[in-house]
Every structure is written in structure tokens, then in C-alpha cells.
Amino acid sequence: AGGTIRGEKEQYIKKGENATTVTAVPNDGFEFIGWSDGITEAERHDVNVTDNIIVTANFKQVDEIYKLNYEASYGGKIEGEEYQEVAEGRNASTVKAVSIADSYVFVKWSDGVTTAERTDLNVTENINVTAEFSWALPFTYVASEHGRIEGETTQYIAMGTYGTTVTAIPDEGYRFYRWSDDLTTATRRDEHTEHINKWKFTAYFLPDDTTPSVPDTPETPDTPDVPDTPSLPLPENFESGDGTQNNPYMISNVNQLVNVENYPNAHFKLQNDIVLNNVNSGKYNIKPMFSDDNMFNGVFDGNGHKISNLTIYNTSTFYAGLFACIGESGCVKNLILENVDLKGTNYIGAVAGYSLGVIVNCSVSGKITYLPVNDLITVVGGVAGRIDGQFDDCNSNIEISVFDYKKNCYVGGIVGYADGVDGGRGRANNCFSEGTILIESNNANIRPYVGGIMGYGLYGFKNCHNSINIKCKGNAYIGGITGGSLGGYSNSFNQCCNLGEIEVEGGEYIGGIQGSGGSFISDSYNIGNIIIKNGTGFISIGGLVGYGGLSIENSYNVGNIEIKNNEFDTVYVGGFTGDSGGFGNGHILNSYNTGDITVTGTGSFYIGGFVGRGSGFDETIKNSYCAGNIEIVNIENVKSYFVGGIVACGKIKLSNCHWLVDNYNIVVYAVGDNSSIGIPSSIGSTKHTKISDFYTLADALNTGLETPVWENVNANSLPTLKKGNGEEI
């Protein structure tokens, strides 16, 4: 302790040849006192080597050393040296707290410092601080005709804080009338409270010569009896019904479908399939119904019928879908949208662009394309763009293309962004998706959240299956089920699986189930392969979770992970998770990984059969096994590596675990660096040198369990998990 080695710490030298030079370099507050074989010069160059040499550079402390630890809460990260050791009276190096997305803002450091960038001077004590970030909403201010907005028109405002002041400025000859939320003062400054339900505000203006008693819009002047152009015929009303719950309006044709928009609180039911006319590219055969100012709060029952060939091309508003916006009391159910061709700007989903209500038992097929016509948020889902309510029993067979997004981006096979029921934890049940998601950005600073079921949000998932293949160019948070969870909270996954392949040209957080965030995973699995190529910087990748604290029970990964042609500085990769991320304690019980891990590159690697880096992972891995191969290609080019048959490094307690010595002779211990005891360790585990050892392992894995969960199906098979709760895993 107290120093480092500059040069090759481990060298392989033919007898009689010379080693390369190495130097013992003391840290601040330490001095070099000699090598363990008596040499006192810090720099050494061993020549004419005829025997193995194992020596230690010894240092002694001359000043008091203080430890500095800079961390970030969920939503942020630290730029600079997160962990520092500084001699008494010296200055720390500068660190900066930065958000991982525009939807998070820095609030303060836990010791009260309010500047995101800090340099601690004249250090005289240990420092352990956390940069606190808060989730922010995009508040948008828009001027109607005859006026403009002075101030920042799009602001990300954190919960409990205020944005900056904006003012509605009228054109000459006009005056400010009111905002769309009925505020009558032209200047406003908004607070993000937990009860707020609008984030877009439009300023309206009237001519100077009108008085307050005049309606919102001036009276229409007299017009000739015959208009210049003949008006379109009004849509037919409905086949039957009175719009009540017991007697809904019955819809049998396109005109009646369009007429729904005139009855925002009524009940409707499809009487038969509806086939819309095909239109040319760039055209539409139906406009999105309703808006953020006039949401649908009725019930639309598809009654199991189809609407075919729905084509929408919408750049005039932010919301694109059959329904632009569904209100808190709104519900769309039992609907099939077939051969959809949907193109929109910001909130895009076949059933709804934005829903505060309920979407249940809806099915979508076709394609969705994002149109990059502004620099605002991008939220795309096969069924709905954003859902702040409930969605269950939905499925999609969809091709989603998102290119050149400019701001925060959330993309999912079912839902792009979800904020749970009543703004809290919700649950999605029985959702299935297949198809492709293609996503690419020219902005390296924006990390999209992408998932086969959901892009981003705070949710639980039960019996959700994904077969969507995801291809992404650029750094991203990607998961087979969901890209990430909201605000550092944990998502739960029960009886979920991913069969889709994930291919990324870039890095960040990639997982077969979830990209980033805490996770509770049970009775779930990943089969899809994960391929990463041409990346730089940092990556954390896992067969189940890319980055985040986790508890896993009765689950498995058989998908292979391949990282190739990369220039990553740091790589965390594991059969279950790359980095547990300091989210707190966790455990792995009755689970297994048989996927192979292959890494090519020159950086620092942390590779484990289950876990790459177990930061904050301080519990038990029990009654589980790893039987996949781990390979570092061209290992001689690697800067450094930690490898473990179960965990690369971390605070780990193993109990009745089994692991395979790989074919590439780099797996030596179950835990490459067990920081709970300070050395590499295999305590609590059994090493196996051939795969056939696992063929009779079920009985050993069942040791101590009240109800056996493991079985070997036949004489030449790996142990598998028995059926649980009457349902097959």
C-alpha cells in the first residue's frame, strides 16, 4: 500500500534475457523504502534473468492520508477522479457532477456545496459526498398567433424547484389575453410539484380594440350564403347507441370513427372491422384524434375488431397516434391496429401518443418512424409513446426507426416512456413484442433508453416476452424488456424473457432484461445474444442487467456476450450483470449462466460468470452455477483485467456455488478479487474442470433447500430449474 508500479508488473522472460524497466512510484504522503529483495533504487532493470522473480515495492507513510469519495445519485455521474487519496494539506483534483440526461438536474452535494464542479482545497479530513440529482420535467412555453415568448421556451425543472421566468410578448396592435391554463399574467415562473399535470403552456393574444367581455375568438364576420369552396359533408353520427356505458355508440365505418372526436366523454364500440384507404407516402388517411388541451376521457372498445391501414403523417402537433392524448378517465381496449404506417415528431404510438388512462388488450402491427423536425424530446412506442396510467395484455409486431433525435429519447416495442399508475410504481402484465428497433443519433452526448417492451420508466413486469431485435448506433441504455428504471428505483421482473438480439455500435449500459437500474428478477431468463462493437469510453453489460443493484432468484442466462473491435477504457461484463452499481445489497439464488463471454480490446476488463464488478453487492450467491466460457482475445494487449468464474471483484459470500475453469486458462478463482476478505477467493464454491461434471450436479445444488428446484433431465444435460408455481420458467 502507498504506491504503484510504473511499467510491466508481470513479465514473461526467456532464460538469460533482460526484463523491461519498472519503477516504484509513491503516492502522495508516502515514500519508497526499498524492494523486498533488498534493492533500494526505485527504478530497476533486471538483466540476464535465470529464475522467477517475485518482489514487492515497499512504501511508508510520511503524511496523514485522507480518502475522498465522490458519488452521484441516480440520474447523474461524476466526471473526474471519483476516488482520491490526498496527503494532509494538499488539494484534491477537480470533479464535476453531470446529469446522464436532460431529464435530470443537479441539485447539490450532500455536504451543502451547490456548485456542480468542486475542487476541495487544503484537505484535512476524509470526504465522502454524493452529488444529488432530481428528476426533471420538460416545461414548454408556446405563443399562439400574434405574439412571442421571451425567455427559455423549454426548461427541465426538477421536483420541488422553480424554472426561469418567461413572458408572453404581443405583436404590435395586439395584447396578451391569457395562458392555456387560465393564468392571466403575461409573466410566469413555474414550480414542478407532485400534483402538476400540464407541462405545455400556450399564450393567447387578442387585438387591442377588444374588451374582456369579447369571447376568446372574435365573432366570425358575415359571409356570403354560398362559400367560395363547397364544405365537406359532415361525418355520419353512429350506427346506434347513446354513448353511455350500457348503450355505447356503435361504429361501423370510417366516418363514424372520425366522429368520435366530437364526443370526448362517451362510450364507443366497434361493430365490425374497418379498412382505411391506402394513401401515398407523406399523406394520411386519419388525423390523430383529440389533443393535450382536449383529451379523450371516454371508453373505446375495439370489441376484438381490426382497423387496417391506419396511416398518419403528423408534424403539426407533438402527438401522433389514433388517439393523440388519452385522459385520466380514458380507456382503449380490445383493439387491433393492423398494417400501421405512423410518422410523427415527439410522442408517437399507434394507439396513443400520450395516455394518462388505461390501454388494455390492444395489438399493433406495422411500422413507426420518427420525424426529426424539432429539437424536443423523442418518445416512441409500438402501442403508446408515453403512458402515465395502466397497460396490460398488449402486443406488437413492429418496425420502429428513430434517427437523428436531438434531445432525450425513449423507445420501446410497447411503450416508450412510462411513469406508473398515479405517477408511482405500476405493473405491466402479459405483454409481447416482436420485430425490430433501429436507432441512431449523430449526438454522442445523448443516451437513448431502448427496450423491447418499454424504453424507460418505473414499472413491474409479469409474463412479458420480447422477441424484438434491437440495433443501435451510439451509446445507449438498452434492455430486452426495458432500457432503464426511473429515479434509481427498482423494477421487478417475474416470468419474463428476452429472445431478441441486441447489437450496439457504442457502449454504456446493456442488459438482456434491463439496461440500467435496480432490479428484482425471478423466474425469468435471457436467450438473446448481445453484440457490442466499435465502442470507446465505458461499458457495463450483463446477460440480464447492464448496470444496477439486483436480486435474482430462479432465473438464468444462456445468451452469449461478445465485445469486439472496441477501444473501451473500462469494461464491466457478467453473465447476469456487468456492474451492480452501488444500489445496495442483493443476492443471487437458484440461478445459472451458461452463456459465453468473449472480449477483444486494450482497456481494463472486469469479467465474471455472474457479475463483473460487485460494487455494493454485499450478500450471498447461493445454490447456483456458471458453466460458460470466458475469453479475452489477444490478452497480451490488455491494460489490466480481473476475471472470476462467478464474480470478477466485489464483496461476495458464496454458498454451494459451482463454476467452470474455462478453456482459455484465465479463470483461476471463483472471485477474482473478493474485497470482503481482501484476496482472490473460491471459498463457498466448487471448481470444475470439465462440463460433464455438471451433468449430475442437481442433487448438490438442491442441498439445504426445503423444496428441490433443480433437476438433471437426462444423463448428458446441464442442471435446469423445475417448473415453479405451476408455470414453466
pLDDT of residue 469: 96
CA separation for the pair 342, 368 (Å, rounded): 5
Predicted confidence band of residue 446 (pLDDT cuts 50, 70, 90)? confident
- Long-range own/partner contacts, residues 116-120 (CB < 8 A, 24 or more apart): 118/94, 119/91, 119/92, 119/93, 119/94, 119/95, 120/68, 120/86, 120/91, 120/92
pLDDT tens profile 253-270:
998 999 999 999 999 999
Answer yes or no: is pLDDT of 385 > 90.
yes
Predicted confidence band of residue 162 (pLDDT cuts 50, 70, 90)? confident
pLDDT tens profile 664-723:
889 999 999 888 888 999 999 999 999 999 999 999 999 988 899 999 888 888 999 987
Answer yes or no: is pLDDT of 223 > 70.
no
360-385 average pLDDT score: 94
Q: What per-residue string of b and e applies to 60-95 under the rule 16 or more CB within 10 Å gives b?
A: eeeeebbebebbbbbbbbbebeeebbbbeebebeeb
Q: What angle do CA 488, 489, 492 make, to 5 degrees?
A: 135
Q: To the nearest whole number, what is the mean pLDDT of the chain?
A: 87
Backbone angles phi, psi at 548, to 5 degrees: 140, 155
306-315 average pLDDT score: 94
Backbone angles phi, psi at 406, to 5 degrees: -110, -20
Q: Which of 449-463, 476-490, 503-517 has the lowest mean pLDDT?
A: 476-490
pLDDT of residue 219: 40
CA separation for the pair 574, 539 (Å, rounded): 12
404-417 average pLDDT score: 93
Answer yes or no: is pLDDT of 215 > 60.
no
- The upper half-sphere exposure of residue 466, i.e. CA atoms within 13 Å in the direction of its Cβ, equals 40
pLDDT of residue 194: 58
104/606: higher pLDDT: 606
pLDDT of residue 101: 64
607-635 average pLDDT score: 87
Predicted confidence band of residue 209 (pLDDT cuts 50, 70, 90)? confident
pLDDT of residue 422: 41
Cell of 607: 469479467
| Distances in whole angstroms, Cα of residue 292 to Cα of each of 180, 348, 424 | 11, 13, 21
pLDDT of residue 425: 52
Answer yes or no: is pLDDT of 115 > 60.
yes
Cell of 719: 442442471
Of the candidates 525, 381, 544, 377, the one whose C-alpha atom is nearest the C-alpha of residue 463 is: 525
What 8-state DSSP symbol labels residue 132?
A: E
CA separation for the pair 512, 530 (Å, rounded): 7
pLDDT of residue 664: 82
Q: What is the DSSP string of 351-364?
A: SEEEESSEEEEEEE
Q: Which of 91-100, 133-142, 163-172, 311-320 has the lowest mean pLDDT?
A: 133-142
- Long-range own/partner contacts, residues 247-254 (CB < 8 A, 24 or more apart): 248/299, 248/301, 254/286
pLDDT tens profile 487-524:
455 788 999 999 999 999 988 899 999 998 888 899 99
By CB atoms closer than 10 A (0-12, 13-18, 19+), residue 194 is exposed
Q: Are 469 and 436 in contact (CB under 8 A)?
A: yes
pLDDT of residue 197: 56
Q: What angle do CA 303, 308, 309 make, to 5 degrees?
A: 155
